[in-house]
Amino acid sequence: MLIQFNFKNFKSFREEATLDLSAAKMTEFSDRVVTIGSEKILPVAAIYGANASGKSNIYNAFEYMSDYVAESFRYGGEEEKFEQFRPTPFLFDSTSADAESSFEVYFTLPGDKAEKTYNYGFCINKEGVTEEWLNVKAKTARKYNTVFYRGISDEELDLSGFPKSSRDNIQVALEKQVLIISLGAKLKIGKCKDIRDWFLANEFADFADPVTNFFLSRRLPKGFVEDKNVQQKVVEYFASFDEHIREFRVEKVPGDGDSNGHKSSADESFKINALHKKIDSDEMAEIPLSLESAGTLKMFALYPELQEVLEKGSVFFIDELNARLHPLLVRNFLLTFLNPEINKNHAQLIFTTHDTWQLSNQLLRRDEIWFVQKDERGVSSLYSLADFVDEAGVRIRKDENYEKNYMVGKYGAIPELRQIDVLQENRKKRLQAYASLLREGELNGQKGQNR
């Protein structure tokens, strides 16, 4: 499980930002807190903020870290490839634009009976990796032990947590653009592979991106094509919000498929029809899945990742969860993660949203609610409702109306609205132009009379 994510100098976040999923000392919904070793961890984090405040940049930062861990072994000596995959720093001051960006996580591995806690991170600049570290803490230990540490120079390379043969292989192959975790996993070093696989197990869905939306909608759940039981599970999943779909019919499409095609895991094309019961008979009406509502298509797109994270106990990070979904449907989705009887493997959901209906003390703990605020300099900051202190220096109580207080600006992280007067201004300009034409016509008429 993810315990904490820290990052710095990435896009609109100039200073270090911390998304902390460790449970604070509070009484509400204590039954959902997961205890692993000495850690108490939350299953959900909801991130609120104005448009363009930087909410999506938190998603982007975690996705960037995951992608770089998985792929950096490909960039060794490849300057052009690395150039395209460098992180974007804060660009609105000259110091940050040339400074390194940093990414760090604290987490536990699913199924680890020893219940160890890991701390992994790296710093990266325009040239390559400037620092990287992996530390581990036993269940009953107070301090972390170093598995490896890497600085800029060769003298700052400590691989003492690896066997000698692994140390030698890493030293021979390591390049400045490559992470030790990424290289070590490629070299089949167990400790590196475990960390890399933790990142790979996490899922991402960016519903603010039309391209991502398109590809998500074409992805099929595992076993959907050949297994009627899987199709029935999807029908039952849909029944939680729409009972009209009774089953699916799947046809393989020759070639590249058509506008109704969906990609399976084998990269083949299929035409999927949703079967609805007719109101006047027991027969079924077939509708191409692509003609279902946008909300139904989004829920279909979410299902494969939901299936994966619930099975693996991994992290599901969603940008704009509320887009095209009714608030009750969003709440039902959240309850899947908040219910320990359903979420048996301790999967986690982190999501950005504008859906204030979920800002309720009947649904979320104060430490599960986060806000992003951007100041007049374009610098974003991230803070939790549990840590928020009002103007009187008082912390927020658990019985407050979170939604109402947020909408009136008590917690910050809302748009600063001004009157949209551009239409009024255009109308004023048209009237002025019309008046000018009238005056010009009157003057011309007077000139004609004088002649």
Residue 254's pLDDT band (boundaries 50, 70, 90)?
confident
Residues in the chain, how many?
Answer: 451
- Position 423 pLDDT exceeds 80: no
pLDDT at 261: 45
Nearest-angstrom CA–CA distance, 153 and 112: 34
Q: φ and ψ at 397, to 5 degrees?
A: -85, 155
Q: Classify residue 143 by its DSSP letter.
A: S
In single-letter form, the type of residue at position 289 comes to L
Contact 322, 55 (CB under 8 A): no
Nearest-angstrom CA–CA distance, 129 and 106: 20
Report if pTM > 0.75: yes
Residue 399's pLDDT band (boundaries 50, 70, 90)?
very high
Which tens digits make up the pLDDT trace of 262-292? 444 445 788 889 899 888 888 889 988 888 8
Cα–Cα distances in Å, from 392 out to 26, 112, 276?
21, 45, 57
- Position 189 pLDDT exceeds 50: yes
Q: Which residues pair with 119 in a beta bridge?
A: 106, 135
Nearest-angstrom CA–CA distance, 64 and 137: 25
Domains, in order of start, for the chain: 2-202+314-407 (3.40.50), 219-299 (no CATH)
DSSP 196-227: HHHHHH-EEEETT-HHHHHHHHTBPPTTTTT-
Pairing of strands 315-319, 348-352: parallel
pLDDT at 448: 53
Which tens digits make up the pLDDT trace of 325-365? 888 889 999 999 999 999 999 999 999 999 999 999 999 99
Residue 216's pLDDT band (boundaries 50, 70, 90)?
low
The mean predicted confidence, pLDDT, of the chain is 88
Which tens digits make up the pLDDT trace of 22-44? 999 999 999 999 999 999 999 99
In single-letter form, the type of residue at position 233 comes to K
pLDDT at 263: 45
List, in order, residues 6 or more apart from 257 with CB less than 8 Å away.
269, 270, 271
